[in-house]
Amino acid sequence: MATATMTVASAAAPTPTAPPTLGSPLYTDPSQSVEARVNDLLARMTLAEKIGQMTQVDRDSIAPDDITRLFIGSILSGGGEGPGTNTPAAWAAMVDGFQQRALQTRLRIPLIYGLDAVHGHNNVKGATIFPHNIGLGATRDPDLVQRIGRATAEEMIATGIPWDFAPVVAVPQDVRWGRTYEGYSENTALVTQLGAAFVRGLQGPALGGPFSVLATPKHFIGDGGTTFGSSTTPGYLLDQGDTRVDETALRALYLPPYRAAVAAGAQSIMVSFSSWQGTKMHARKDLLTGLLKGELGFSGFLVSDWAAINQLPGDEHAQVVASINAGIDLVMVPSDYKTFIAALTQAVQQGDVPQVRIDDAVRRILRAKFELGLFEHPLSDPANLAQVGSAAHRQLARQAVRESLVLLKNDQATLPLAKDTPLIFVAGQGADDIGLQSGGWTITWQGQVGNITPGTTILQGIKQAVSPQARVVYDALGTFDAVTTTAGVTATSGAVTADVGIVVLAEPPYAEGVGDLTSLALPASDLALADRVRARSRKLVVILLSGRPRLVTSALPKWDAFVAAWLPGTEGEGVADVLFGDAPFSGKLPYTWPRSDGQLPFDFAHLPAGGCAAPLFPFGYGLSAGDASPAQLDCPG
């Protein structure tokens, strides 16, 4: 054999050598109780093996051989990190490949692969993309949310991934936050109800049952309550900032969703990048160990956020000591894992992190791995691949879209539209763009404009919904200058008027602090687009695709109907279903809609109910198609 070939062969992924012989220690026996298995396994582990279990590395940083060599316990895909070819089968092969390395270690402890499937299995091309949580908040439908959890788990397990960094159970208090759409609502009770429903759906009746995925309510605690401008991250405003409320308010506003999620069986919780009263959550032993593990009796494990321990004061040693002693069990390192492992090893050897803390952390992680059945079923099953983007899941997503739409204005019963409306103009790039209707955390971390994954755009949905007599003309820029009448008359600008104009305005996709905003004003170009179509249409319907309320106060009087569609995901027909009356408008606002930037942040305890100081639309607002819109107030400014 030529030397060159040999070099290539040894550099490529090795064929797994036969795993070491274990005999049959108690922990490998599934008929034993989880606690007995954990105790047995823990007693066999070296410090290096324990620290490996506490280490989570991101997919793009791991040298595969290190999984075996350093006993790495967990790998994650950061937003958009996946196999070179983005197919469900390639995802399964990638995850199984990492798992094979873990199964070659002395004790053959399986690793746990995790990622953010926050609106469906959103990193995977071809997966069903459900509405972001803001839209699910509008549905007020816990049964629907539970079923979405189930469908998401089915798609994840198909690709060999048993751990989801979801649901976000933040209770966002300031809609300028770039993560507003990841939260169900500004209302604690609603977040509590829907977050627990998602946990139940994702995990199924019991961890380890068919298609059971470990849920991770996040980010503990108060991440939606940060003060504008308090972020410690350059360029961010609210995200990763400081929540400045007293303990009574912290508990009242932000704790109930965690209490409910723990009661629903959550076995992992992610800690927030943010601070409470100036101290980063990752160092808050009072809240992590005292409140969560102590008072709430949380028996699962705490995972840190992305490199978040490195936001603590001091050097790596100080950061590792502070965070592990505060109660973090599994560290999302995610890149420089050798430095982390060295620092934690030294900290234990020096007695700065007690051995009992390490044992407690590992015990919590192993418990979840046993409960999930990973020791018995560490690898994916190709028979499940058909779950990804299945017709049943897309139907469910379409239903979720229908239920999520909030009708905010509907003069002269403009909506629903007649299916035989002779001429319909559709404008706005958002009308025909899967990326825009899906938002951040879709295929990539920040999301992307364009048809980035299979789905149906709103325009396609409209075309499918109308009857053959109706004519639908799409012009992204809304000029419609090339339109001719049915009589064949070539129109000069302005000559042809549509019966209905539909303008879809869309926020560009964003995620996390990148989406923090100072002003919620819509770009002038969006307002101009609506004005252009206004001039060419007898009735104007405006649909907003956005991750939060945006200011429409001055433009609204010119629009006949206005619909908040949030970030509906891949099933755009759901929007058309409601526009054309195949399903009713039933969504209710999950967030209070501001009239102006000056109203933010809202003082929810003292919101005026009416007049110009009141919000434009209150929490819970949403018309049915038959309701008359209330008269718009004429307010100064």
Positive or negative, the CA dihedral 63, 64, 68, 74 is positive
Cα distances (Å, whole numbers) of residue 252 to 183, 392, 410: 17, 38, 37
Choices 77-85, 144-152, 349-357, 399-407 (CB under 6 A): range interacting with ligand BGC: 77-85
DSSP conformational letter for 593: B
Nearer to ligand BGC, 45 or 168 (CB): 168
Asked if 80 touches ligand BGC (CB under 6 A), the answer is: yes
Minimum Å distance from CB 360 to ligand BGC? 23
Distance CA 611, CA 161 (A): 51
Nearer to ligand BGC, 445 or 619 (CB): 445
Q: Which of 141, 174, 305, 507 is catalytic?
A: 305
Nearer to ligand BGC, 242 or 305 (CB): 305
CA angle 15, 18, 23 (to 5 degrees): 155
Edge-to-edge strands of the sheet including 471-475? 406-410, 561-564, 537-545, 498-506, 423-427, 471-475
Annotated catalytic residue 371: no
Which of 198, 207, 227 lies closest to 301 in space, CA to CA?
Answer: 207
Choices 3-11, 78-86, 195-203, 358-366 (CB under 6 A): range interacting with ligand BGC: 78-86
Q: Pairing mode, if any, of strands 268-270 and 423-427?
A: unpaired
Distance CA 259, CA 196 (A): 9
Nearer to ligand BGC, 224 or 478 (CB): 224
Asked if 298 touches ligand BGC (CB under 6 A), the answer is: no
Asked if 164 touches ligand BGC (CB under 6 A), the answer is: no
Asked if 79 touches ligand BGC (CB under 6 A), the answer is: yes
**Binding test (CB under 6 A) with ligand BGC, winner from 91, 113, 163, 165:** 165
Nearer to ligand BGC, 80 or 461 (CB): 80
Asked if 306 touches ligand BGC (CB under 6 A), the answer is: yes
Minimum Å distance from CB 274 to ligand BGC? 10
Minimum Å distance from CB 339 to ligand BGC? 18
Cα distances (Å, whole numbers) of residue 381 to 96, 372, 607: 10, 15, 53
Nearer to ligand BGC, 23 or 234 (CB): 234
3-class DSSP assignment, residue 55: strand
Which residues, 496 to 535, sit near ligand BGC by CB under 6 A? 512
Distance CA 324, CA 209 (A): 31
Asked if 163 touches ligand BGC (CB under 6 A), the answer is: no
Which residues, 411 to 470, sit near ligand BGC by CB under 6 A? 445
Annotated catalytic residue 512: yes
How many Cβ atoms are within 10 Å of 314's Cβ, its own excluded?
10
For 631, residues 6+ apart whose C-beta sits below 8 A from its C-beta are none
Which of 405, 424, 446 lies closest to 572 in space, CA to CA?
Answer: 405
Choices 76-84, 338-346, 389-397, 562-570 (CB under 6 A): range interacting with ligand BGC: 76-84
- Site size toward ligand BGC (CB under 6 A) is 12
Q: Which residues are catalytic?
A: 305, 512
User: Which residues are near ligand BGC by CB under 6 A?
Assistant: 78-81, 116, 165, 218, 273, 305-306, 445, 512
